[in-house]
Amino acid sequence: MSALPLRARTIELWREHNPGLDTAPMEMVAQVKRISSLLDLAVEQIYDGAALTAAEVGLLVPLRHTGEPVTAVRLAARLGMSRAGVSKTLAKLERRGLISRMANPADRRAALISMTDEGKDLIDEVFPRELAAHGALFAELGEDRARILDALTRLAEAMETRLGSER
């Protein structure tokens, strides 16, 4: 029985059974997934029984302070999400009266989306709590915070370049 943590042991086993396999990406992906899971865990209690889901907040945050309505296509591109996923979430938000859609005079096929007062009030109540929960996770980074943010930005940009994204 190995004393290695599960992640390290998994990588070691892959190397042993497939010596030609480059397992370096496993370490990076494992850390990114671990961070993502921890971010989700930090806000779990905020959304437990809340009037919004984390996915809905993800759509409402960029809408909250836009000066003008936006299209679903533009919102999806800005967030790096699928149009179908954005459309489905927007439909739920519209049914609950948190957003409104109006005809787009420039393109009748694409509605313009804006938040209702009820949607604004709700996001103003929930989002600061999410920010505080995430901020608490980063509190111990101290002077390393800027360097880590730079490295994460570099990682995201490299991945976007590799995937041909134009965000």
Calculate the CA dihedral of residues 97, 39, 63, 81 and round it to 10 degrees: -100
What is the value of pTM for the model shown? 0.78
| Structural element, H or E, at residue 16 | helix 6-17
How far apart (Å, rounded) are the C-alpha atoms in residues 50 and 98?
A: 14
Choosing among 3.40.50.150, 1.10.1040.10, 3.30.360.10, 1.10.10.10, the CATH entry for 6-132 is: 1.10.10.10
160: number of CA atoms within 13 Å, CB side? 13
Please give the chain's pLDDT, 167 residues, in tens: 557 788 888 888 999 999 999 998 998 998 999 999 999 999 999 999 888 998 899 999 999 998 889 998 889 888 888 889 999 999 999 999 999 999 888 888 888 999 999 999 999 999 999 999 999 999 999 999 999 999 999 999 999 899 885 44
How far apart (Å, rounded) are the C-alpha atoms in residues 35 and 103?
A: 40
Domain boundaries, the chain: 6-132
Query: Coil, strand or helix: which one is 114?
Result: strand
Length of the chain counted residue by residue: 167
